[in-house]
């Protein structure tokens, strides 16, 4: 469990008291999403293992938590209940892409399945206090087709995708619950030209889109009035590139 005296940073909040909780928002796509929503005027609570300067923004509260640990999740839940009147949304973005193995499977299960399950149940009352609230599960395109090289990752993301259906039914009609299934959005750091070329060839749209498609989809789901229990695929046509004819 992370040290309590380092757990959170405070800010002078704008005239909002129903923030958007985003997990794994300290880097890459999650960070870009948090900053975009903050710049749009939302109050964002960013729950991540690290507190980083690049995540600093007057509309972002950083809360340090290892979401694989139940005690850290309980501290986050307590903080949200004590500081805010409600929750506008929960976006489960935290993710680990680990090699197969029992220890890594357990870690990914805790982050991709146990943590969202725990937070959705424990924060349901805060979501219910808002006229229209959302839960968004950021899954993966492999969660619907499997992956021979990352079996545990695909399996735990599939469980996260399945929970969209259950929580959509449980929390309707006030809370909309949807999933996003992204393919490659950002190439990993340090990859060579061959890695870049081979990776981009896996999609019909052979370019690195960055965080934009995820941000656009989140904004759509936050604004949508008639979508729940749905999955939005943003993978550049990967599912069609190598299909058997």
Which helix (H) or strand (E) is 7 found in, with range? none
Q: Is residue 84 annotated as a catalytic residue, yes or no?
A: no
Q: Tell me the torsion sign for CA atoms 148, 150, 156, 159.
A: negative
Q: What kind of architecture, by CATH, is found in domain 16-241?
A: 3-Layer(aba) Sandwich (3.40)
Given the residues 117, 153, 195, 220, the one annotated as active site: 153
Which helix (H) or strand (E) is 168 found in, with range? helix 151-171
Task: Copy the structure tokens of residue 56.
Answer: 């600093």
Residue ranges covered by each domain of the chain: 16-241
Q: Which of the four pLDDT bands, split at 50, 70 and 90, describes residue 243?
A: low
Distance CA 41, CA 43 (A): 7
**Which pLDDT does position 7 carry in this prediction?**
42
Render the burial of 15-40: b for 16+ CB within 10 Å, e for the rest: eeebbbbbbbbbebbbbbbbbbbbee
Pairing mode of beta strands 89-92, 20-23? parallel
- pTM, to two decimals: 0.87
Q: Please tell me what DSSP assigns to residue 187.
A: P
For residue range 188-242, what is the model confidence (pLDDT) as tens digits?
A: 766 667 767 777 787 788 877 888 999 999 999 999 999 999 999 998 877 787 6
Q: 185-192 long-range contacts, Cβ below 8 Å, gap at least 24?
A: 185/29, 185/209, 185/210, 185/211, 185/213, 185/214, 185/234, 186/28, 186/29, 186/210, 186/211
For residue range 15-52, what is the model confidence (pLDDT) as tens digits?
A: 358 999 999 998 889 999 999 999 999 999 999 998 87
For residue range 99-129, what is the model confidence (pLDDT) as tens digits?
A: 999 999 999 999 999 999 999 999 999 999 9
Q: Which of the four pLDDT bands, split at 50, 70 and 90, describes residue 55?
A: confident
């Amino acid at each position: 469990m992370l040290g309590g005296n380092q757990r959170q940073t405070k800010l002078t909040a704008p005239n909002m008291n129903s923030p958007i909780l985003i997990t794994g928002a300290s880097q890459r796509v999650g960070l870009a999403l948090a900053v975009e929503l903050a710049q749009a005027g939302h109050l964002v609570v960013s729950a991540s293992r690290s507190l980083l300067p690049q995540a600093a923004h007057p509309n972002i509260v950083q809360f340090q938590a290892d979401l694989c640990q139940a005690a850290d999740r309980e501290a986050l839940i307590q903080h949200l209940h004590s500081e805010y009147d409600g929750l506008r949304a929960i976006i489960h973005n935290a993710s680990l892409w680990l090699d197969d193995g029992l220890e890594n499977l357990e870690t990914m299960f805790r982050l991709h399945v146990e943590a969202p399950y725990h937070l959705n149940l424990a924060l349901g009352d805060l979501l219910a206090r808002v006229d229209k609230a959302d839960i968004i599960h950021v899954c993966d395109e492999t969660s619907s087709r499997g992956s021979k090289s990352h079996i545990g990752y695909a399996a735990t993301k599939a469980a996260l995708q399945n929970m969209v259906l259950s929580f959509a039914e449980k929390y309707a009609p006030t809370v909309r619950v949807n999933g996003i299934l992204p393919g490659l959005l950002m190439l990993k750091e340090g990859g060579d030209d061959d890695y870049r070329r081979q990776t981009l060839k896996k999609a019909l749209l052979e370019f690195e889109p960055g965080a934009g498609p995820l941000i656009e989809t989140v904004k759509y789901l936050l604004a949508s009035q008639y979508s729940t229990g749905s999955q939005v695929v943003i993978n550049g046509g990967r599912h069609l590139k190598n299909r058997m004819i």
